[in-house]
Amino acid sequence: MASAPRSELPAAAPPLTPARPVIWPPRVHKTLSNGLEVVLVESHTIPKFTGELFFRSGNAVAIAKAPGLADMTATVARTGTLKRTSREIEEDLRRMGSDLSSGAGADTSVISFAGLVEFSNGLLGLVSELAQQANFPEDEFERERRQLIEGLRIERTTPGFLASERLRRVLFGAHPYGTISPTEEQVTSYRVEQLKEFYQRYYRPGNALLVMVGDFSPQAMLAQIESAFGSWASGPVEEAPDPALPELPGRRVYLVHLPGSVQTQISVGNRAITRKHPDWLRLTLANSIYGGAFNSRLVMNIREEKGYTYSPHSGAHPLRQHGYFSIGAAVRNDVVAATLTEIFYEIDRMRSTPVGEEELDDARSYLTGVFSLGLATQDGLAGQLATSTLEKLPDDYLETYRERVLKLTSADVLDAAQKYFDSAHAQIVNVGDRAEIESQAAQFGKPEVYDAQGNRI
């Protein structure tokens, strides 16, 4: 082509223009007389609302009775009430343009729901019924039990699941956090009475938090909530057990043998801290520099330079009583040792050399910017409110987050890396075909080898 007109475009990126202030919407935060804590926020993006009814009791609290019991209770709770059959519940949800799901993690059980605001009263009525009057029909329970067992069998062929299971087991041992899933035998021995007992004990207003965001007026919504949940009888609340954690013996290597794997799922982790810990933001920032963002050191190194993996990542995971830090990457079989070398090289670099000003600035901007993206959707706001309220963080947590991040220094990052990127106690899990990877894993310590069922081999 002849001379195309010379572009007027600058050859360098334009600077950022002045930022508009980030203003978090006002919340209505109220506790009903029966103890139900309620947080409400208006968001008029779409004519819908979204909500989550949390109970501050999850699988951890019932671990001694049966692993996964909270999750099974939540699953079966949506399949029948004193007033509605399973089919009626599903058809009523559809009639109200609504979605509903229920489940439990280690620390909480939750009923999540969303629907058109024109049906908010009806949907709240149904959620209230599920929370108070679930009747656990025997046939629904048996069907869900079989589905859970089939699901577990498939999970045992899923590299990501097997890696998480082994990592949590070695980090937390016999503590409830050491078990992320029940065995088939444990599910087979669930009894419906156990579900009812869990439900009676923990599905109580004094143990609950209701977060709702949407296209409503908070005062009017509060009146609907009072009428749907106000007469719910209170009950005592119980804390989850917190037994001692195992002594970690130093760096250890584990191999979960999944025959025929054409890739290896690597997961490296160590125990860290909860969100309430004063170092939490320091750790968050250090993580985002290490491997928590696309523009992070680990991603640049093992993806963009070396091409070992598609989606490497690291994350700080806060549970209520303890937390952990982990690094994950699914890599081709012949670079398992090379990947581990880079993972530890980057950890050592974080622990030994202060981060420069530019990289620090970039990471602080990333964290503060991404945090404010939550403002723009009902789900985003609901998630942030749920996190800050469930963890009983200060009321101005959202408002002050950005300024607290912006105050962090290079020394804070170095400090967090030295404390919480604990390479001396790193637990190294590799899920893959033993014949392909064992000798590589062994370069980092003698591997303890397990089969996909969790048995030592």
- Residues 195-224 close enough to bind another protein by CB under 8 A: none
Report the residue number, 272 or 431, with the smaller CB distance to another protein: 431
| Distance in Å, CB of 278 to another protein, minimum | 24
| Backbone phi, psi, residue 325, to 5° | -115, 135
Q: What angle do CA 260, 261, 266 make, to 5 degrees?
A: 150
Nearest to 254 by CA among 90, 383, 447: 447
Binding mask 388-427 for another protein (x = CB under 8 A): ----------------------------------------
**Orientation of helix 410-420 relative to helix 280-290, angle to 10°:** 90
**Beta-carbon contacts of residue 75 (< 8 Å; ≥ 6 apart):** 102, 103, 144, 148
Question: Which range binds another protein by CB under 8 A, 170-178, 190-198, 275-283, 308-316?
Answer: 308-316
Q: What angle do CA 27, 28, 32 make, to 5 degrees?
A: 150
| Distance in Å, CB of 202 to another protein, minimum | 25
34, 45, 186, 387: residue in contact with another protein (rule CB under 8 A): 45
Dihedral sign, Cα of residue 427, residue 429, residue 435, residue 441: negative
Which residues in the 15-34 window bind another protein by CB under 8 A? 15-22
33, 82, 154, 456: residue in contact with another protein (rule CB under 8 A): 154
Binding status of residue 188 toward another protein by CB under 8 A: no
Binding mask 85-124 for another protein (x = CB under 8 A): -xx--xx-xxxxxxx--------------xxx--------
Which amino acid does the sequence have at 312?
P
| Distance in Å, CB of 256 to another protein, minimum | 11
Strands 252-257 and 427-432 come out as parallel
SS3 call for 44: coil
Binding status of residue 181 toward another protein by CB under 8 A: no
Report the residue number, 250 or 259, with the smaller CB distance to another protein: 259
135, 158, 183, 410: residue in contact with another protein (rule CB under 8 A): 158
194, 224, 274, 295: residue in contact with another protein (rule CB under 8 A): 295
Binding status of residue 2 toward another protein by CB under 8 A: no
Q: Which residues pair with 432 in a beta bridge?
A: 257
Q: Alpha-carbon distance 450 to 457, whole Å?
A: 5
Which residues in the 366-385 window bind another protein by CB under 8 A? 366-370, 372-373, 375-380
- In this structure, the dihedral spanned by the alpha carbons of residues 320, 321, 325 and 328, taken in order and rounded to 10 degrees, is -60
Q: Which residues pair with 338 in a beta bridge?
A: none
259, 354, 356, 445: residue in contact with another protein (rule CB under 8 A): 259
Report the residue number, 361 or 399, with the smaller CB distance to another protein: 361
138, 305, 334, 348: residue in contact with another protein (rule CB under 8 A): 305
Binding status of residue 56 toward another protein by CB under 8 A: no
SS3 call for 448: strand
408 close to 348: Cβ distance less than 8 angstroms: no
Q: State the number of binding residues for another protein (CB under 8 A).
A: 90
Q: How many other CB atoms are found less than 10 A from the CB of residue 387?
A: 16
Binding mask 315-344 for another protein (x = CB under 8 A): ---------------xxx------------
Q: Which residues pair with 314 in a beta bridge?
A: 327
